[in-house]
Chain A
Amino acid sequence: MSWAQGILLARSLSRGWRGICGTILMRAPFSQVPSQAPRGLHCSTATHNSDSSLVPSPPEPLRGPTKALSPHEELFRQSPDVARDKATFVRAVQNFGQHNVHKRGHVDFIYLALRKMREYGVEQDLAVYNLLLDIFPKEVFRPRNIFQRIFIHYPRQQECGVAVLEQMENHGVMPNKETEFLLIQIFGRKSHPMLKFVRMRLWFSRFKNVNPFPVPRDLPQDPVDLARLGLRHIEPDLSARVTVYQMPPSKDSTGTADPTEQYIVGIQSPDQQAALARHNPARPIFVEGPFSLWLHNKCVYYHILRAELVPPEEREVGEIPEEWNLYYPMQLDLDYGRSGWDDYEFDINEASTGELQASSGLEEPFPPPLNGQEEEEDDPQRHQQGQS
């Protein structure tokens, strides 16, 4: 077998020395070279014809790729009934290393694997990224003398390492000690991937808890739970109560029907309940919506029910006598300023809010009289049901 391999290599080598390290190493070891007009050395192996072969056909995963596929793409080509998940991805990555001791074409393979991660659903998995970094041969790319340290040593591999870390950064995955050890082993301490790792560790840890309204990373799948989470997220009053109205599951449901029946989820705080009690039934109440609320990458829609502000002359001001609660003051009037000359109020046009009270009202959400709910989230089906 080695003479055939030698002839193939000699034929391809005779085309010129330029780009030898690039293209030839990229091809699968048993590539079949047709005796045609010379192709450019930099073109891919896409035009291989697997019919004319001088060597017996190798096992399936190492067959030269068909046209317009990148090298090693066949490692990721699964049969349609095999689920694309972490196990298959890991197996494909390990298959690359098994038959290819010298890891030829590892840079292209890593780029390909980075592109395929989204299909397999593993783009947020740190172990998979460590596995990808493990593909690099260790200790080969570390600079050994000052000249190698001055210039970027093995630039393509360093770019590839940076690309892996950049995809980690894009998906918000924090690298760990294993990643650090791998990077030091592969590239050395002053290399670009290592610098990027240090930056990621620094800035990610600084900005980890910078969100004052955090939403849990794994959102509930059930739409009712999602609605509940969303409503709790927008209502700052912690004593607000969430109520869920849901239709009972119908008896003649088909097997493939959506198990979640039509629902309304609402939230109301005690202040709003009290305001509702005070509300004059002669004044109208408005339903507004739907407004969108994003929780990470899911969008839910909510409606609000509100009423106009009562004009000042009709408002009855109830004084809370001080003796009502002796334990703590019911009304605190804390002023930010230290003394008379401090003025931290913004000189925004306050008169306009006065006009608002008359016309469409400042948005002070009031609960509706019907089912006592301030904010509702419902299924689109519910609208149709209401109309029918």
Chain B
Amino acid sequence: MGTTNSTLSKIPNVEELMQETGFTPAHIVRLYDRFEALDKEKTGLLRPQDFGAINRLAMNPIGDRIIGAFFSPGQETVDFHSFVRILAHFRPADKKRPKDPSMPEPVNSRTSKLKFAFQLYDQDKDGKISRAELLQVLRSMLEMQVTEEQLESIADRTIQEADLDKDDAISFEEFRKSLEKVNIDHKMSIRFLR
């Protein structure tokens, strides 16, 4: 564990970070290694093109949105702390610890996971996934052989299914409802962060 401690000592405010995100020292070390591997120029900051090296994201139809989620609006770089905070969304929910009502909702709760996913689709950040935004995702997700007409009807159907208040857009509440049965804890968790 000597390496763990030495790595941890390099990170400022590591205690606070762990408190906030619920990661163990081993997690932090692992993430730090990852961060350094991505940080080609050793500036301590990651730029969007650094994320391009991850081929899983390059393959992803909404990969650039996921990368975008790491950067708060207007900023070109992300430091380790923000990096870890974002990734904390993907920490599997801890089953053992009983829920403490006095504590604020942890960042890896179902709601915050969903919120994170919702933001990926809600590009203009107006709190609603509009039809145009859906179409954008659909276009990137489906192959060329699907006609525009079919795309539109899929988007329409999606909205029709999820939309409760008939505003032709999906709000977060509706998004949550429509994914009620999905095991989000399972889908939006990175195993090694357990």
Please determine whether chains A and B interact with each other in the same assembly.
Answer: no
